[in-house]
Chain A
Amino acid sequence: MTQRKIRVMVAKPGLDGHDRGAKILARCFREAGFEVIYTGCHQSPEQIATAAIQEDVDMVGLSCLSGAHRYLFPKVAELLKEQGANDVIVIGGGIIPDEDFKMLYNAGLKAIFTPGTPLTEIVEWVKNHVAPRS
């Protein structure tokens, strides 16, 4: 049996419309051989958690540049947990101050990427930390 591909969702929670990074990353993940679902802008945490479960993804990558990550990122992680999807890995990116890293890790995020991070570094991280569920 051939192994399933890594299946990821790139999501834009909240009202932030800065989607340049999210779209580039979605394309980059696709080129790296992952199956990619991109939500588009303006998704509520509830919509993202529901879609992640329905789409049976291995990882959710959240992007937010408006400063609302402090509410939105933990909320997505919490909703996934509540719905029994603890095994879905959640990572985040955007304009995230260093001071917020600890709070986000405590909320269950596994990695945070900030501006200037090479795409290859993010892809490598995913390959090393996300395994496709059988």
Chain B
Amino acid sequence: MAVTAGEANARQAPGEREMEQTTAPHGGTLAGEFWLRLKRDRLTLAALCVLALLVVAALAGKALTEWSTVFDPATVRLMDKFRPPLARPAEQLPVPDRPRFGIYLLGTDDLGRDVFARMLQGSFVSLSIGFVAVAISLLVGVTLGALAGYFGEIRFGFVTVDTLIMRFTDVMLCFPTFFLILTVVALLPPSIYNIMVVIGLTGWMGTARFVRAEFLSLREQDFVAAAEVLGLPRRRIIFVHMVPNAVAPVLVSATISVATAILTESALSFLGFGVQPPFATWGNILADGKAFIFDAPWLFFTPGLAILAVVLSFNLVGEGLREALNPKLRRV
């Protein structure tokens, strides 16, 4: 209540969860050292495995439910409503409607749809909401932050570019994020793309502030001066030389933002403004399942635990990466 997860992530000091300072790993390159450090953190590795599984599940979900209907998430079987997990279909069910392997792996919902197939389909949609929303917020945040940091001193009349961009950031920070998302999503026609865009456009402010601060200090460094002296085009200096140096911590916090975006989507679904029926997402399976919490608990627990596992993994991976990148813990 005091601070929402997203806000706190934006404000939190880097290096929240430090690792024990062990003897310096001898990896040679920076990447090798990074990997060595990461390998020690078993929790992060486990979370990374969960995420790898998730990506496989999401791609498989797209392939097996849409490109070729190996698992059919849309078939309605009214005689097979609310079958528990691992149940067999009714004898009278026509053969083409039968689930793959002749078994409902995760049961069926109130319309007799196969929950396993819906979860598979939903994994792709949920994940793409998270990734697209974060990609949008990164794009906006990095661009505005870089512009404010690099071209900050240019004047338009009586205001500088920096003032303009940073005051706009302040304006955006004044909106209560979730309420704004809710308002816009409710007023716009319901569509999965609107949800992605709105979540993305309300989450870039922390990134912009961070990138601007990084750029202000990078601009003074020798390699940027050297690039300028060489007469490289500005675009190249910014995107090839400066952005890669500023962006590692941003990418780390982006991992956590993906988690937040998935949670936001499920919260929107709970309020009835989430992704609408033809698409299944974990959020709306969970939100629909809450009505049958006594009759068919698997409709509620499967998506709920899946969201918990995935969001937890994103958070743990984000924190683990942040640690592994933390220069304070690096070999001197």
* B is a partner of A: no
User: Interface residues, chain B, CB within 8 Å of chain A?
Assistant: none
User: Interface residues, chain A, CB within 8 Å of chain B?
Assistant: none
